[in-house]
Structure 1
Amino acid sequence: MTLPLPPVLFTDVKYRASLAAVQALGKAGYPVYTAQTEAELQGTPPAFSSVYAKGVFLVPGSCYDVEYPARLAEICNSIRAEKEQVPVLFPIGAATLSQVAGHSEELASTARFLISPPEVLDRANDKRAVAELAQTLNIPIPEEFDCREDRLPPRFPVVIKPRCGEKLGLHAEERYCKVYQESDFAAAYSKMARFDPEPVVQELLTGDGVGVSAVMDQNSRPVSVVCHRRIREYPIEGGPSACCESFWDGTLVRYAVELLQALHFVGIAMVEFKDGKLLEINPRVWGSFPLTEKCGSPFSLRYVQAASGNAAAVCEGPEYKEGIRMRFLLNDTLACLSYLCHGQPGKALSGLTEPFRPKSKEALFSWRDPKPFFLYLKNTLTKRGD
């Protein structure tokens, strides 16, 4: 007799990235539940309004509270009692990921999940440690300059960033400073040194960003892999993806998998490259995650299967459509306007014609589940989006 599909609990659904996984698993027939802590709540989370959400949970307090893991366990136990199956926990936010990793033994009896131990997450979040490991694996990295004791880099432009900007609670655009000339270096270095006394100083790479994302199972095997290239970003000086495209790069996939396996990584991670060189690891659900659903990747499904202990084949090639573009309507529109204001009309025009491309999709819109998209627009336009 075939067992029913296990329930899945998504945390931190204030993040727009959560909606893609909710919809992907809901369409596949999984009972989906969504949760958000009250302290971090900013308007009604779009995923709460999804037709696939069988239940929603407002969690008291904050995801940083010491009581948070126990509150998650209580929710998981209530789902288990209702569905008579242990739920799969699908953390979206970095804080929840860290909490679950630190309390994995206590939570293991109430939920299934696929998360690396705290020490592995910490190492994956450390840009300098990741770069040093990459060197031992012959993975290309940007040149780093030792700028301690008021030393200047030998050439410009450079980028300065803390070893782990996300753990400091910084937004994506706050995690680095680009410096194009010697006269601006001291001020930029001091700014980043407020967050990290010895920030990373690297050559500034100018190509388009590429992400190689993977689900690594309990044995650190890649059971799903997705590649995307960044088309436009907002802010255009170096913000998150406003528009990106699915593709496949066998060399970068090999680099990413070797790196994650060397870390003995378990769970979801996005390894970022630029100009063929490794930038960093994001050991969590990333901003352009909705592309996994839009291009038809089984990424979310493979996470749930692996977390449930179901063996899956190693991914050896693309299991999705290449050339699918995904855009965030508001961010991409702002990016196009910004390109226009900065004297780049070609990029602006390319963005404005994006809706007419046959393989271009809006990140958050679904004909079968339209309400979350309009709720997200409302939250964002009233300054309550993520």
Structure 2
Amino acid sequence: MREVVITDIQYRMTMTAIWSLGRKGIPITAVAFEKTKPYERLGFFSKYVTQQEIIPGPEQSKQAFINQLAAIGSRILERTGECPVLIVPRTQTHECIVQYSELIKPYFEYHLVCHENLERANNTFLLSEVAGDVNVPFPETTWLKENETIQSLANRLTYPVVVKYRFAERLTLKPEQRYRIIDNANDFVAAYSNMHAIQSSPLVQRYVTGSGFGVSCVFDASHEPTAIFCHKRLREYPVSGGPSTLCESIWDDRMVRYAVDLLKALNWRGFAMVEFKGEIGGDVYLMEINPRFWGSMMLSLQAGCDMPFAYYKSVQRLSTAHQGQISFGNRYQLGVRMQFILQDFLATVCNIRKRPMGLLSYFSHLLSPSTKDGLLSFSDPRPGIKYIMNAFLHRQ
């Protein structure tokens, strides 16, 4: 059985791949970066990790990262006679590997979208153009025109608006720091000026109301989906628009069609999560593409849509051919809910004025056997326990 190498194991979403593949007996090498602290290396605490490696990260030295990652693959290839499957959860690591693919490809099997299309997915303005080409609804968008002042831009807007960085994934910011929701011109001038200084010419979008949805996909080398999963955000933290703290598995044909059309237009390979906002049966709009692992990824595994294994099989060219219309909706359980207990409690408390019965809802989900926890596992408890300990002992 071909081995697996997983990078960026400090993120909780990497546990989805570790649990998916480890439970099938697939040997896993977990790669941490030197600048991460020992308690942050979440994957190292899993019983399913068979080998631990610590190397320089791409931010520290791209060349050192590539050289040492290649050395890991070379050792596995020499020992097993097969190139291991490489899983890359984070955009910055993805970008580095694509940039140096000629040095990595001899030692690994993987699906990663090319640099050009990764740029188009990460750049909000370029993404809006792709969305227009395939008729995927996108919020009305504008930006600071040539020779225009920020004040004049503020005066021509209809509020509320959302200001977004064009290349948010390139910034070392938390998700909630990558945009601002603004209600008036005075606040807009201050906020836009600050964001413009960090990354030039942020985009301004009409604020879209409604629920948040995600269509998650794995695409193979032929740019065809091998796994598709949909979820709805029920709560998030920060409440202004952070990662899901409570979410539910759903299926929506229209959003699936939008996501697949969009990713095919980008000649996608590997993992992606396409975010929408709006209402089922009403208007929905594309928000962004996460060209990486996403925060609620564990829900797909818990609902029976094994995305890491779908990727593993597609890399080994074992995926089945697709015929006719995509019909993934009956391949996993609908209505499964997942909760991150600490973050969901904070989300509930923040919303307590708007929803006085929120605490009752929180505890009903916490105690419900139909709601899964996002990280606590009886079969492999150490990563979840360590994550909770870190939240209390290493708060920044």
Q: CA deviation at 1:61?
A: 5.4
Counterpart residue identity of residue 349, structure 1: L
Counterpart residue identity of residue 112, structure 1: E
- Distance between the aligned counterparts of 2:136 and 2:300, measured in 1? 25
1:364 corresponds, among 343, 350, 375, to: 375
Q: Which residue of 2 aligns with 1:236?
A: 239
Q: CA deviation at 1:146?
A: 4.2
- Distance between the aligned counterparts of 2:237 and 2:20, measured in 1? 26
1:191 corresponds, among 190, 194, 219, to: 194
Counterpart residue identity of residue 182, structure 1: A
Do the aligned residues in 2 keep the contact of 1:326 with 1:362 (CA within 8 Å)? yes
- Give yes or no for the alignment of 1:93 onto 2:105: no
Do the aligned residues in 2 keep the contact of 1:339 with 1:348 (CA within 8 Å)? no
- Distance between the aligned counterparts of 2:383 and 2:200, measured in 1? 42
Q: CA deviation at 1:44?
A: 4.6
Q: Which residue of 2 aligns with 1:157?
A: 160
Determine which structure has the larger helix proportion and give its number. 2
- Give yes or no for the alignment of 1:30 onto 2:26: yes
Q: Which residue of 2 aligns with 1:336?
A: 348
Q: Which residue of 2 aligns with 1:377?
A: 388
Q: CA deviation at 1:40?
A: 2.8
2:334 corresponds, among 322, 336, 340, to: 322
Q: Which residue of 2 aligns with 1:117?
A: 114
- Distance between the aligned counterparts of 1:284 and 1:217, measured in 2? 15
- Distance between the aligned counterparts of 1:89 and 1:68, measured in 2? 14
Cα distance, 1:333–1:82 mapped onto 2, change above 3 Å: farther
TM-score by length of 2: 0.92
Counterpart residue identity of residue 382, structure 2: K
1:200 corresponds, among 203, 225, 233, to: 203
- Distance between the aligned counterparts of 2:218 and 2:379, measured in 1? 27
Q: Which residue of 1 aligns with 2:281?
A: none
Q: Which residue of 1 aligns with 2:296?
A: 288
Which whole-Å deviations, capped at 9, do the CAs of 1:301-320 have from their partners, x for residues lacking one? 11111122223344522221
- Distance between the aligned counterparts of 2:48 and 2:111, measured in 1? 22
Cα distance, 1:245–1:61 mapped onto 2, change above 3 Å: closer
Cα distance, 1:42–1:211 mapped onto 2, change above 3 Å: farther
- Give yes or no for the alignment of 1:50 onto 2:46: yes
Q: Which residue of 2 aligns with 1:75?
A: 72
Counterpart residue identity of residue 153, structure 2: R
Cα distance, 1:310–1:30 mapped onto 2, change above 3 Å: same
- Give yes or no for the alignment of 1:141 onto 2:156: no
Do the aligned residues in 2 keep the contact of 1:228 with 1:248 (CA within 8 Å)? yes
Q: What 5-or-longer segments of structure 1 have no aligned partner?
A: none
Cα distance, 1:62–1:281 mapped onto 2, change above 3 Å: closer
Q: CA deviation at 1:330?
A: 1.1
TM-score by length of 1: 0.94
Deviates more, 1:33-42 or 1:184-193: 33-42
Where 2:169 maps in the other structure, the secondary structure is coil
Percent of residue pairs identical = 36
Where 1:79 maps in the other structure, the secondary structure is helix
- Distance between the aligned counterparts of 2:136 and 2:20, measured in 1? 33
Q: What 5-or-longer segments of structure 2 have no aligned partner?
A: 279-283
Q: Which residue of 2 aligns with 1:19?
A: 15
Quote the RMSD (CA, aligned, Å). 1.7
- Distance between the aligned counterparts of 1:274 and 1:18, measured in 2? 25
Do the aligned residues in 1 keep the contact of 2:33 with 2:56 (CA within 8 Å)? yes
Q: CA deviation at 1:42?
A: 5.4
